[in-house]
Structure 1
Amino acid sequence: MADLTISEVSKKYEFRFKKGLGQNFLIDDSVLDDVVDGAEVNEDDFVIEIGPGFGTLTRALLRRAKRVCAIELDDKLLPILEDELKEFDNFELIHNDALKIDFDELIGDEKSVKLVANLPYYLTTPIIVKLLTGGYNFKSLTIMIQKEVAQRIDSEPNCKAYGAFSILVQYYCDTKILRLVPPTAFLPEPKVESMVIRLDRLKEPKVKVNDEALFFSIVRKSFNMRRKILWNSVKDIGIPKEELLKCFEKANIDPKRRGETLSLAEFALLSDEIGFIK
């Protein structure tokens, strides 16, 4: 769907873009192709899309997928989507907030489930956390998000972007940045660049930990104040100083290191040693 077509559709339905809902609609066909190709959508896939806008990406997905379910919060877009996509019998539209959706109920007994979406920027972190920690049966999430967030997700230890969110996503998924998307690919144009990133859900978490809640608690503590050394970040974990020092020693981790230097595996080792004492 070209720029003119988007403009024509907005005029036809007298639609006004809502900045508060992060409405920046994709108008670049090359990006559309890269998103759908990158997601490897095929006729066996049940695809969930969040924030379909005028249905530009939805249309491309419908031509390849077994079924597409689009979740849209803005009630002004519902009649537009229903009208523009009425030719497709494999299309389902849900009017709801994606953060309130029961994805288990939505997915049902579908075997090959992929999420493909141009996510509103404000929704990026909460929806990724919901989808990954909820244990839903997704094969992959191929999403267009703000460039800095994609870089944070895909970053490695000792990088400025590396943090608790990087570890959370990489605990559950393999990550791959597919392409950069300039502001000119959208209408209206956002003020920032975007990236398309694919998160392939692992059958088992990347590292095995005895206590996930403790593991993620230690990760969060380690990044709350990035300049703090690990010892100062976790010394209030609830075990005696001597025992905590032994945990660092057994995990072969210097307590004077900073959180951003630890790998996923090292956080798992430290977490298990502390958990054994607790």
Structure 2
Amino acid sequence: MPRIADRGVTNHILKAFNLHASKRLGQNFLIDAGVVNGIVATAEIGPGDRVLEIGPGIGTLTQALAEAGADVTAVELDKKLPAVLAETLKEYDNVRIVPGDILKTDISALMGEEPFKVVANLPYYITTPIIMALLEQKLPITRIVTMVQKEVAERMIAEPGGKDYGALSVAVQYYTQPEFALNVPPRCFMPAPAVESAVMDCVVRKEAPVDVKDEKMFFRVVKASFGQRRKTLSNALTGVGISKDDVKNVLNTAGVDGTRRGETLTLREFAALADAVTALNEK
């Protein structure tokens, strides 16, 4: 089969099926074989690996995953594309195409209980909800390798104190060990997006980097702390449903200065605050 990750081949497929990149669905077709190979190499795909791909498009990345020997399940939202994929990937019996919205898909039922990897060129308009859904469901995912907007990649690996550090940074770093893998310029896509892109490699942690008594409370505290960036913790923490006086007690117990803002806190400090709130609620 010719490599789909080529401008000429991609153009041929689009014309043959009368397709156009959908702005509504955030479609940009990858046409750089080097980047596609880099994604597969980053994910360390080998024969027999179980892979969930989100948004296979016309099968560009899917083809490379299949040729590496992976058992690929690809979920596609665009109703026009499963018929296209049936043709572009007809040579591969290790690919299963599933029409549907990944945010409405029962991934556990789809993939079963055995470990799997997620490899995807995600639509940029919905990157964060998809990543959070994958992480929060506690699925047997071992690794998430995704193409994202470079700005999102910078947020995923940001450290406390910087402008990019936020709730996404905390969540991704709590659940995974994220690393920047590849820089991908606009020319690698058709049509070329108006932003730089990057491939992120997130190895899912077997254990969280900090101990928390109540994980849901931990993320409630994180969300409240970043809810309004200009708010100090003394004001922001009322967002978890406690009084001003209780906020003072929580801050004292956790040993955190209430004049600080959420973007300055480490994961350990968020954990200390969450545990203090949990202890307060248990009284």
Any unmatched runs of 5+ in structure 2?
A: none
Aligned length: 277
**1:236/1:124 Cα in 2 relative to 1: closer, same or farther (>3 Å)?**
closer
For residues 232-266 of structure 1, the C-alpha deviation after alignment (integer angstroms, 9 at most, x for no partner) is 11146444544432332232211111111100110
* 2:82 aligned residue: 78
Q: Is the 8 A contact 1:46 1:65 kept in 2?
A: no
* 1:150 aligned residue: 153
Q: Is the 8 A contact 1:218 1:271 kept in 2?
A: yes
Q: 1:20 aligns with which of 19, 24, 27?
A: 24
**Structure 2: distance between partners of 1:136 and 1:160:** 31
**Structure 2: distance between partners of 1:244 and 1:75:** 50
Secondary structure of residue in 1 paired with 2:141: coil
* 1:87 aligned residue: 91
* Letter of the 1:175 counterpart: P
Q: Is the 8 A contact 2:30 2:60 kept in 1?
A: yes
* Letter of the 1:178 counterpart: A
Please give the residue correspondences for 1:68-217 in structure 2 after superposition, counting only pairs within 5 Å.
68-111=72-115, 113-217=116-220
Any unmatched runs of 5+ in structure 1?
A: none
Q: Is the 8 A contact 1:48 1:116 kept in 2?
A: yes
TM-score by length of 1: 0.95
Following TM superposition, by how much is the alpha carbon of 1:192 offset from its aligned partner in structure 2, in angstroms? 0.8
Matched, 1:256 2:259: yes
**Structure 2: distance between partners of 1:107 and 1:20:** 28
Q: Is the 8 A contact 1:173 1:206 kept in 2?
A: no
Following TM superposition, by how much is the alpha carbon of 1:101 offset from its aligned partner in structure 2, in angstroms? 1.0
**Structure 2: distance between partners of 1:224 and 1:240:** 17
Please give the residue correspondences for 1:23-34 in structure 2 after superposition, counting only pairs within 5 Å.
23-34=27-38
Following TM superposition, by how much is the alpha carbon of 1:217 offset from its aligned partner in structure 2, in angstroms? 1.3
For residues 81-129 of structure 1, the C-alpha deviation after alignment (integer angstroms, 9 at most, x for no partner) is 1111111111111111111111111111433x00101001122111111
* 2:69 aligned residue: 65
Q: Is the 8 A contact 1:24 1:189 kept in 2?
A: yes
* 2:12 aligned residue: 8
Following TM superposition, by how much is the alpha carbon of 1:2 offset from its aligned partner in structure 2, in angstroms? 1.3
Secondary structure of residue in 2 paired with 1:49: strand
**Structure 2: distance between partners of 1:31 and 1:242:** 54
CA RMSD, aligned part only?
Answer: 1.4
**1:90/1:233 Cα in 2 relative to 1: closer, same or farther (>3 Å)?**
same
Following TM superposition, by how much is the alpha carbon of 1:27 offset from its aligned partner in structure 2, in angstroms? 0.3
Q: Percent identity?
A: 44
For residues 174-216 of structure 1, the C-alpha deviation after alignment (integer angstroms, 9 at most, x for no partner) is 1011011111100111111111001111112222211222211
**Structure 2: distance between partners of 1:65 and 1:158:** 43
TM-score by length of 2: 0.94
Q: Is the 8 A contact 1:145 1:194 kept in 2?
A: yes
**Structure 2: distance between partners of 1:235 and 1:50:** 37
**1:255/1:22 Cα in 2 relative to 1: closer, same or farther (>3 Å)?**
same
State the 4+ residue runs in structure 1 displaced beyond 6 angstroms.
Answer: none
Q: 1:53 aligns with which of 49, 53, 57?
A: 57
* Letter of the 1:67 counterpart: D
